[in-house]
């Protein structure tokens, strides 16, 4: 899968590295801003038991 993404990115290797970093940053932002806040109410985080 990563090889497919690498082949689809345009430009020489330094440009591909920059584009891959931008894609990683976008995925990280999407997870932090949209996915995790939507899932958090369904997680049993407040049910911590310390013996």
DSSP character string of 3-39: HHHHHHS-SSHHHHHHHHHHHHHHHHHHIIIIIHHHH
Distance CA 48, CA 9 (A): 45
- What is the chain's pLDDT, residue by residue, as a tens digit (51 residues)? 889 989 999 999 999 999 999 999 999 999 999 999 999 888 877 767 776
State residue 49's pLDDT score: 75
Can you give the pTM of this predicted structure?
A: 0.73
Report phi then psi at 50, rounded to 5. Answer: -115, 120
State residue 13's pLDDT score: 95
State residue 36's pLDDT score: 92
Distance CA 24, CA 27 (A): 5
């Amino acid at each position: 899968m990563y090889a497919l993404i690498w082949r689809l990115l345009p430009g020489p290797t330094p440009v591909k590295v920059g584009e891959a970093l931008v894609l990683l940053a976008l995925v990280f932002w999407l997870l932090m801003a949209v996915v995790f806040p939507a899932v958090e109410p369904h997680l049993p985080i407040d049910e911590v038991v310390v013996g």
